[in-house]
Amino acid sequence: MPNLLRRLLGFSTLPFLGAVLPLVALPIVARIGGVDGWSALNVGQAVGAYAAAVGFVGWNVLGTAMVAVERDADERRHLYARSFYSRAFVVSVLTVPTALVSALLAPDGTRAVAVLFATAGALGGLGISWYGVGISSISTIVLYDLIPRAIATAVAIALVLWTGEILWYGAALLVAACASPLAFHMSSFGRLFPQWVGAQTVREDIFAFRSAWGVEVVGNLYANAPVPVSAATAGARDVATFSSADRLYRYGLMAIVAAGNALQGWVLEVAPSLRARRHLAAFLLMGGVGAVGVVVLGVLGQPLTALLFGSELIAESATLWWLAAAYFAVASSTPIIRNVLMPARQERAVLLITVVSAIAGLGAMILCGTLFGVAGVAAGLAVGESLTLILCAFVAVRSRALTPRMVHP
């Protein structure tokens, strides 16, 4: 139990430390950028976040578990090298389409802002946090993720205040996204890039990870779709207020990621026959995280968005409550997917569930968004995430995946 508490404290603190400077930067950016600039920033980041999820090629889902159960340090580094080259290939292919989509969805006069933030977001697919989680190394995440982003954000705040241009924020994030993995490579491999693993290995990994990759591609489509869908179905002002609610929701997701990261390593580090009590603890803890999120979003959401982004960009109450429902579903499904189904190599079942949920959720976003405005978009997200929770729980019980097999590369 002390080991779990240390993990929870470490992995839960990191995302919130990383959020401190953005919490200072974004209110400044929102006020300086205005309705159109704020909309463009959020559209760009949403499109970029989806591109990054695709660019991970499933390594941040299945790869984390593979690294966690691998005990040989050299083999762990080889797994990272394999991941880097498959991810680098996909990210390079995605960069131009990502920029084009963000430009098409951004308000007139702010397309450059959207493109810059989208490109910086797409490069997040080269991040190393998933690997730090797999090796249970808080220092790796601090040195090669948290600190570069913190420095970039601090510099960006000064430049935005000095110039009155929010483009500088996107430029700083782009530089940090490039510098972080390179610094990690110099430390871990003694060179800017890991030793080349060969084109055949890259092709084989992309093919072997197709199910886990598909989970990310499809799952993140509807997870990151709300802002782009709102941009396609509503005016700039509605998109701006929805973006404030979505931003608060994304802040809350950091708590889910942090707790999920800590619990995954803790649950999987013991033999499968000894995991039952740890699974139960993980389910209860993540349910508690979800309940707190419901209160923060539903009850405190409006005053918080007014405080953070200004009264002009305050979120609607109905939007916040639907996002609260989605938040609880995400928190509850996280330990089932990460600690039960993926280690048991049920990624194909998860992919099928994700496809079904994405179709239902994205369809609900478009339909409800068209009929009821931006609150309908949030309702569509809640539909998709709730369906994911229900179906994953059903598969976990039906397949007896609570006694998972070990994961092998």
Cα–Cα nearest to 172, from 185, 186, 154, 188? 154
pLDDT > 70 in the chain, percent: 90
Task: Tell me: pLDDT of 163 over 80.
Answer: yes
SS3 per residue for 258-320: HHHHHHHHHHHCCCHHHCHHHHHHHHHHHHHHHHHHHHHHHHCHHHHHHHHHCHHHCCCHHHH
Task: Tell me: pLDDT of 8 over 60.
Answer: no
For 71, 257, 403, 406, the CA distances from 340, given in Å and listed in that order, are 20, 16, 8, 11
What type of residue sits at position 282?
Answer: A
Could you tell me if 144 and 128 are in contact, meaning their C-beta atoms sit under 8 angstroms apart? Answer: yes
Residue 142: per-residue pLDDT = 86
Could you tell me if 121 and 52 are in contact, meaning their C-beta atoms sit under 8 angstroms apart? Answer: yes
Could you tell me if 343 and 352 are in contact, meaning their C-beta atoms sit under 8 angstroms apart? Answer: no
Which range among 163-167, 204-208, 399-403 has the greatest average pLDDT?
A: 163-167
- Contacts for 101 with CB less than 8 Å, ≥ 6 apart: 47, 118, 228
* 330's tokens: 């995400």
- What φ, ψ does residue 342 adopt, rounded to 5°? -65, -45
Q: CA-CA distance, 374 to 14, in Å (whole number)?
A: 32
What type of residue sits at position 403?
Answer: T
3-state secondary structure of 198: coil
pLDDT band at 409 (very low <50, low <70, confident <90, very high): very low
Range name among 117-121, 122-126, 343-347 with the lowest pLDDT average: 343-347
- Calculate the CA 14 to chain-centre distance: 15
The answer as to whether 326 is a domain residue is yes
* 60's tokens: 């941040």
| Residue pLDDT, tens place only, 34-93 | 888 999 999 999 999 999 999 999 888 788 888 888 778 888 999 999 999 999 999 999
The answer as to whether 407 is a domain residue is no
| Residue pLDDT, tens place only, 333-342 | 999 988 888 7
Q: CA-CA distance, 100 to 104, in Å (whole number)?
A: 6
Q: Please work out, in degrees rounded to the nearest 5, the angle formed at the alpha carbon of residue 395 by the alpha carbons of 390 and 401.
A: 130
The answer as to whether 188 is a domain residue is yes
The answer as to whether 86 is a domain residue is yes
What type of residue sits at position 151?
Answer: I
The answer as to whether 405 is a domain residue is no
| Residue pLDDT, tens place only, 16-29 | 666 666 777 888 99
Distance, first Cα to last Cα, the chain: 29
Residue 255: per-residue pLDDT = 87
- Domain holding 137, by residue range, is 2-398
Q: CA-CA distance, 14 to 25, in Å (whole number)?
A: 18
- Contacts for 206 with CB less than 8 Å, ≥ 6 apart: 57, 86, 89, 90, 213
The answer as to whether 406 is a domain residue is no
Of 8 and 211, more confident: 211
Task: Tell me: pLDDT of 10 over 70.
Answer: no
How many domains, the chain?
Answer: 1
* 251's tokens: 């802040």
The answer as to whether 176 is a domain residue is yes
The answer as to whether 307 is a domain residue is yes
Residue 404: per-residue pLDDT = 47
